[in-house]
Chain A
Amino acid sequence: MSDRLTVRKTYKLYLGGKFPRSESGRTYPVKSAEGSGLANAALASRKDVRDAVAAARKAQPGWAAATAYLRGQILYRVAEMLEGRRAQFVAEVRDARGGTVKAATAEVDAAVDRLVWYAGWPDKLSQVLGGANPVAGPYFNHTAPEPVGVVTQVAPQGEPLLGLVSVLAPVIAAGNATVVLAAQEQPLPAISFAEVLATSDLPGGVVNVLSGRVAELAPWLSSHSDVNAVDLTGVDDAELAAECERAAAENLKRVWRPVRPDWTAAPGLDRLRACVELKTVWHPAGL
Chain B
Amino acid sequence: MFEYAPAPESRAIVDIKPSYGLFVNGEFVDPKEGGAFKSVNPATEETLAEIAEASQADVDAAVAAARTAYQKVWGPMPGSERAKYLYRIARIIAERSRELAVLESIDNGKPIKETRDVDLPLVSAHFFYHAGWADKLDHAGFGPQPRPVGVAGQVIPWNFPLLMLAWKVAPALACGNTVVLKPAETTPLTALAFAEICREADLPPGVVNIVTGAGDTGAAVVSHPGVDKVAFTGSTAVGRLIAKSVAGTGKRLTLELGGKAANIVFADAAIDQAVEGVVNGIFFNQGHVCCAGSRLLVQESVAEEVLDRLKRRMSTLRLGDPLDKNTDIGAINSAEQLTRIRELTEVGSAEGAEPWSPQCPLPDTGYWFAPTIFTGVQQAHRIAREEIFGPVLSVLTFRTPEEAIEKANNTPYGLSAGVWTEKGSRMLWAADRLKAGVVWANTFNKFDATSPFGGLKESGYGREGGRQGLEAYLDV
Contacts and interface: CB of A to CB of B under 8 A. Distances in A.
Contact of A117 (B80, B125, B129, B432): B80
B125 to A, nearest CB: 6
Contact of A69 (B84, B125, B139, B466): B125
Nearest to B86: A120
Interface in A172-198: none
B128 A72 contact: yes
Interface string B62-103: 000000000000000000100110010000000000000000
B405 to A, nearest CB: 11
Interface of B: 80, 83-84, 87, 125, 128-129, 131-136, 139-141, 401, 424-426, 428-429, 431-432, 449-450, 466-467
Contact of A120 (B131, B424, B432): B131
A162 to B, nearest CB: 15
A121 B128 CA distance: 11
B425 A285 contact: yes
B469 to A, nearest CB: 11
Contacts of B132: 72, 119-121, 123-124
B425 A116 contact: no
B133 A73 contact: no
A113 to B, nearest CB: 6
A285 B441 CA distance: 13
Given A285-B429, A286-B429, A123 B424 contact: no
Q: Tell me the dominant secondary structure on chain B's binding face.
A: helix
Given A76-B87, A283-B425, A285-B429, A124 B136 contact: yes
B292 to A, nearest CB: 25
Contacts of A116: 80, 83-84, 87, 135
B129 A123 contact: yes
B129 A140 contact: no
10 contacts: A120-B129, A120-B133, A124-B450, A128-B140, A285-B428, A285-B429, A285-B431, A286-B426, A287-B426, A287-B429
Nearest to A120: B132
Interface residues on A, range: 20 to 34
Contacts of A120: 83, 129, 131-136
Contacts of B135: 116-117, 120
A258 B450 CA distance: 35
Nearest to B84: A116
B5 to A, nearest CB: 34
Nearest to B400: A287
Contacts of B140: 128
B226 to A, nearest CB: 31
A17 B160 CA distance: 41
Q: Which of B125, B425, B467 has the most CB of A within 10 A?
A: B425
A269 interface: yes
* Of listed B136, B140, B141, residue having the most chain A CB within 10 A: B136
A110 B401 CA distance: 57
